[in-house]
């Protein structure tokens, strides 16, 4: 069976004669409000300035249009999107990593996992630390909680507890995030 590829449709704002509305609310190149004008008057005003009439918001009545150089408008829009994406991805704030620890995990191995947790916290990730309990270990939830508390003390970076230690059918877990 062949994979079907759908072409990504990028919706661009309507430009000059593509604007279908009979009248538009026009904003000038410096941001001044020129009021509600019929489409022909607005196109003439844009043409006189050597710029384009770009439909900013088609959902309002009447639609909002701005007199601006179209290429500059696209560049500024892309720049704003890149900046917001950079702010969003900075520090991996929404992303989460999981570290699994066993009931019988030795202290040296816990130290290595704590160093890994430090690296994740330094990069800005939230961390879910899970202590798995198997078989008869499931009856020792209190000891599991103590072991998890001991593990969190091995983490050297400052962190805040987002969700305190809680038991679930397969063990105990805690959710931490980088502290300020």
Question: How do the domains of the chain map onto residue ranges?
Answer: 16-88, 93-178
pLDDT score recorded for residue 172: 93
Q: What is the pLDDT along the chain (180 residues), one digit of tens a residue?
A: 666 766 666 677 888 888 888 889 999 888 888 889 888 998 898 889 889 888 888 888 888 999 999 889 889 888 988 888 776 656 566 788 999 998 888 889 999 999 999 998 888 888 999 999 888 888 888 888 889 999 999 998 888 888 888 988 889 999 998 887
DSSP 57-89: ESSSSSPEEEEE-HHHHHHHHHHHHHHHHHHHH
Domains 16-88 and 93-178 share a fold: no
Kindly indicate whether the domain formed by 93-178 is annotated with CATH number 3.30.110.10: yes
CA nearest 120: which of 151, 93, 139, 138? 93
How, if at all, do strands 126-132 and 96-102 pair?
Answer: parallel
Whole-model pTM: value is 0.51
pLDDT score recorded for residue 91: 57
Kindly indicate whether the domain formed by 16-88 is annotated with CATH number 3.40.350.10: no
pLDDT score recorded for residue 1: 62
């Amino acid at each position: 069976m062949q994979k079907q590829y759908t072409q990504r449709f990028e919706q661009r704002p309507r430009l000059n004669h593509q604007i279908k509305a009979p009248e538009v609310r026009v904003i000038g190149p410096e941001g001044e409000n020129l009021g509600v004008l019929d489409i022909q008057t607005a196109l003439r005003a844009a043409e006189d300035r050597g710029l384009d009439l770009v439909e900013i918001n088609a959902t309002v009545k009447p639609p909002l249009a701005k007199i601006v150089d179209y290429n500059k408008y696209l560049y500024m829009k892309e720049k704003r999107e890149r900046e917001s994406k950079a702010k969003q991805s900075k520090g991996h704030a929404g992303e989460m990593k999981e570290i699994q620890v066993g009931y019988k995990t030795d202290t040296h191995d816990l130290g290595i996992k704590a160093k890994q947790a430090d690296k994740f916290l330094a990069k800005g990730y939230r961390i879910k630390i899970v202590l798995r309990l198997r078989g008869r270990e499931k009856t020792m939830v209190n000891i599991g909680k103590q072991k998890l508390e001991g593990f969190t003390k091995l983490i050297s970076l400052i962190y805040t507890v987002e969700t305190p230690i809680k038991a679930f059918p397969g063990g105990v877990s805690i959710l931490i995030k980088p502290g300020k």
